[in-house]
Amino acid sequence: MTALTLSTAAAPGLRADAIVVGVAKGAKGPVVAPGAEAVDKAYDGKLADVLGTLGASGAEGEVTKLPAPAGFKAPVVVAVGLGALPEKDETFGAESLRRAAGVAARTLAGAKKAAFALPIEDAADAGAIGEGALLGAYSFDAYKEIGKDAKNGKAPLGEVALLGGKPRDTAYKAAVARATAVSEELNRARDLINTPPNDLNPEAFAAVAQAAAEEHGIKVQVLDVKALEKGGYGGILGVGIGSAAGPRLVKLTYTHEAASKHLAFVGKGITYDSGGISLKPAGHNETMKCDMSGAAAVFAAVVAAARLGLQVNVTGWLALAENMPSGTATRPGDVLRMYSGKTVEVLNTDAEGRLVLADALWAASAEKPDAIVDVATLTGAMMLALGNRTYGIMANDDAFRSAVHEAAEEVGEPAWPMPLPDHLKKGMESPTADIANMGERYGGGLVAGLFLREFVGEGITWAHLDIAGPAFNEGGPFGYTPKGGTGTAVRTLVRLAELTAVGDLG
C-alpha cells in the first residue's frame, strides 16, 4: 500500500526516486505550475523552455521525464500535465490535481519514493493530490508474480511525499487522513471487483465484509440461504438458487453516538452474472465478475465512514448472489414472491440485479432511514445513454437527485440526472403477477429505476445510481483510474455521508 506523507523539505535536498512537478498548457507553450519554483530555479528559470523543447505542452495526462539538475538528491524530474492554465486570480481545480497526481503515481510504479511538488494552496489541494496519487498508484497484482525478474509489471509506488504541505497543521493532517482512508477503502473495492469469481462468491464476499467490520467496529449481520428462506427474501433467493454457491444478504451498521441522521446504502452484489437461463452471449460475459461493483462500493463507503468517525449513522446492505443456469435456476415465466410481499413475473433472468436490490431496498426501508441510495451495475441501456465514464442518477425526489449529483461532481465522479417517466410503468404490467421484471426496450435504464422505486418504503427519500458504464474500465488507464475495477460511487457515497453528518444534506 502506498504511503502518504506531508513534507516541508525543499525539493533539491529530498532523498527520493523522482520529483514530480506540474506543467500547464499556456497560450505560448508549457507553463511551470506553482509548487515547482525550486526545481525551476535549478534550471535557471528555463524549465518551461526545456520541456517545450522536449515536446511537452502541458496537456492533461501528459508526462515528460528529464534528468534532475546537478545537486538534486533525486535523479529524475517528472513533469505532469495539468491541462489549461487557470484564468487570472483562479487556481487549479481539485479534479485537475487529482488526475495529474494519479498519472504521475502510475508512471512511477516500481519506485520507492517520489516527492510531489504540485500546486498546493490549502489543505483541500493537499487532500486532492494525495487522493489522486493513492488511487493512481493502485495495481491489482494478487495473481501475478511481481519482482525484478517478473514480466508482469512493477510494484506500486511506495511513498508519496507532498511538498508544500504542513505536517503540523490540523487541517492538512485531516486532509491527508481523509485521503488515505477513502483511497484505501476505494482500492479495497477495486480489489474485490477484480477478484476472479471462482475466488469471490457470495460467501467469500460476506467473509471479507465480516472481517473488515470487526476490524473497524461495525456491526455485521449475514443472512445465509436458510435465513433468507425463513425471512421470505424471494428476490435474492430467486437469483441465487441456480448456483452451487448460495446467496447472502449482508447488513453492515455503523453508528455514531451523536448522530441524528441515518443513511442506508444498498448495493447490487452479483459476484458473477452468466445471465442465468437467459444466458448472455459470448462477448458479453467475460467481465461479469464486475457485477458486484455496487456492493463493493457500499461496503467501502461504510468502512470509510467508520474510519473517518463521521457523525451519522450509516447502514450498508450487500445483496449477494451468483446468477447461474442450472436445473434449479429460476426460469423465464416463473413468479417470485418478494420480501415486500409483491409478486414479480420474471420475463428475463438476466434482469436479475433489480430482483436482489428489491429485497434489500425493502429491508432497508423497514428501518425508516432519512434516505436510501442504491448502487448497481444495472443496465446496458444506461451505458448506451451516458457512455463508459458517466453514471446515471434517478430519484423519487428532485432536490435529492440534485444533491447527489452535486456531491458526485464535487468529488470528481461524472454523473448525470435521469428522469423516471411514469408512462414507462405500463410496460411492466403482468397478467400473472403484481409486476414484471422487464418493460419497454427503449429507456431500459429508466424502466429499471421505476421497478426499484416500487420497493422503496412510502415517504422515504431514495436515489438510484446506475454505474454500469464506469464501474469497470476495459480500456487503458487514465488520470487516477486504472484498467479493470474502478470503485465508482465510493467517493460519492462518502461525500453524502459527510454532508449529512454536518447537516448539509436534508
Confirm if 254 and 342 have CB atoms less than 8 A apart: no
Catalytic pick among 280, 337, 389, 425: 280
Residue 280 bears catalytic tag: yes
Residue 214 exposed, middle or buried by CB count within 10 Å (0-12, 13-18, 19+): exposed
List all residues 6 or more positions away from 71 whose beta carbon is below 8 Å from its beta carbon.
12, 42
What would the grid cell of residue 11 be? 525539493
Confirm if 115 and 144 have CB atoms less than 8 A apart: no
Q: Name the residue type at position 385.
A: A
Catalytic pick among 190, 354, 401, 495: 354
Q: Name the residue type at position 235.
A: G
Confirm if 332 and 348 have CB atoms less than 8 A apart: yes
- Give CA–CA dist 77/74, Å, rounded: 8
Query: From residue 188, how far is each of 19, 138, 194, 205, 341 by CA, in Å?
Result: 28, 10, 10, 12, 35
Of 28, 39, 16, 182, the residue nearest 98 (C-alpha): 182
Of 377, 272, 254, 383, the residue nearest 320 (C-alpha): 272
Q: Name the residue type at position 17.
A: D
Work out whether strand 371-376 and strand 262-273 pair parallel, antiparallel, or are unpaired: parallel
Residue 331 bears catalytic tag: no
Residue 405: other Cβ atoms inside 10 A: 17
Residues designated as active site: 280, 354
